[in-house]
């Protein structure tokens, strides 16, 4: 399944049993990558910081604009004695009487680019889902409010939102393929990121260079 952003130069593919990636996150990718083409992995100078906010008009195929999404970076705050950035994503879309809502937060230690806490609320006509997860990189474990939990594959875990920001650290050269074993839920690893092509996009804010990136992540807990 593919979703296009304002000028559809970003795709997020999924095939079951891959996870159903939210429409809002998929729609955000174009300008997110356009703003960070030259970002390199550098803990001293991450390609994002508190105060950043990206606003998107979300389009769906021939239906045109169906809603609005906002991504931002807040903070710093303190979680278990560690200073963190709060990554946020808010989306609300409507197609006729059908309303979809997504509110996602990720608390990330910028010194290690490691998520310490994750929350997500999704609502659609089909289902409502809420996740509240605490991640403990030092102990290599995670615990959810639902009672789920498990071992972390790495001391620098990520969730579905912080993964987008991690991608902004990557070189993203033509043809690059990254296999990342950093999702906090080991069952969803590896996450594959592939650079497909480069282009340019014109939006009301101006014209930008873009990178077309494909990201795949499975979710056997929800889609078996």
Domain-embedded: residue 4:
no
Average pLDDT over the chain, rounded to an integer: 83
Residue 13 lies in a domain: no
Give tens-digit pLDDT for 49-104. Answer: 999 999 988 888 888 888 999 999 999 999 999 999 999 999 999 988 999 999 99
pLDDT band, residue 224 (cuts 50/70/90)? low
Range with the poorest average pLDDT among 64-68, 198-202, 210-214, 218-222 = 218-222
Domain total of the chain: 1
Classify residue 5: in a domain, yes or no: no
Q: What pLDDT, on a 0 to 100 scale, did the predictor assign at position 45?
A: 78
Is there a domain that residue 81 lies in?
Answer: yes
Residue 224 per-residue DSSP state: -
Please give the pLDDT value at position 40.
40
Q: What is the pLDDT of residue 26?
A: 38
CA separation for the pair 220, 224 (Å, rounded): 4
Whether residue 17 is preceded by a cis peptide bond, meaning omega within 30 degrees of 0, is: yes
Range of the domain at 35: 23-223
15, part of any domain: no
Report pLDDT for 109: 98
- The reply to whether 2 falls in a domain is no
Is the pLDDT at 39 greater than 60, yes or no?
A: no
Is residue 34's pLDDT more than 70?
Answer: no
Residue 7 falls inside a structural domain: no
Q: Is the dihedral of CA 157, 159, 165, 168 positive or negative?
A: positive
Give the pLDDT band of residue 205 (cuts 50, 70, 90).
confident
pLDDT of residue 223: 63
Average pLDDT (192-211) is 93
Flag whether pLDDT at 41 surpasses 90.
Answer: no
Say whether pLDDT at 35 is over 50: no
DSSP class of residue 156?
S
Q: Which secondary structure element, helix H or strand E, spans residue 177, and what is its range?
A: strand 177-180
């Amino acid at each position: 399944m593919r979703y296009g952003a304002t000028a559809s130069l970003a795709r997020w593919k999924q095939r079951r049993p891959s996870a159903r990636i939210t429409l809002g996150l998929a729609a955000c990718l174009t300008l997110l990558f356009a703003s960070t083409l030259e970002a390199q992995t550098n803990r001293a100078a991450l390609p994002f910081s508190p105060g950043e906010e990206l606003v998107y008009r979300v389009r769906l195929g021939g239906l045109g604009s169906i809603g609005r999404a906002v991504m931002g970076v807040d903070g710093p705050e303190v979680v278990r004695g560690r200073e963190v950035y709060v990554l946020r994503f808010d989306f609300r879309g409507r197609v006729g009487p059908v309303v979809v809502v997504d509110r996602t937060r990720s608390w990330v230690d910028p010194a290690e680019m490691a998520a310490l806490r994750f929350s997500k609320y999704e609502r659609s006509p089909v289902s409502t889902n809420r996740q509240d997860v605490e991640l403990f990189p030092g102990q290599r474990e995670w615990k959810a409010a639902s009672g789920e939990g498990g071992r972390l594959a790495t001391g620098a875990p990520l969730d579905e939102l912080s993964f987008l920001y991690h991608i902004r650290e990557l070189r993203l050269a033509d043809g690059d393929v990254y296999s990342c074993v950093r999702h906090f839920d080991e069952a969803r690893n590896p996450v594959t990121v592939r650079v497909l092509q480069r282009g340019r996009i014109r939006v009301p804010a101006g014209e930008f260079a873009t990178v077309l990136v494909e990201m795949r992540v499975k979710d056997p807990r929800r889609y078996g």
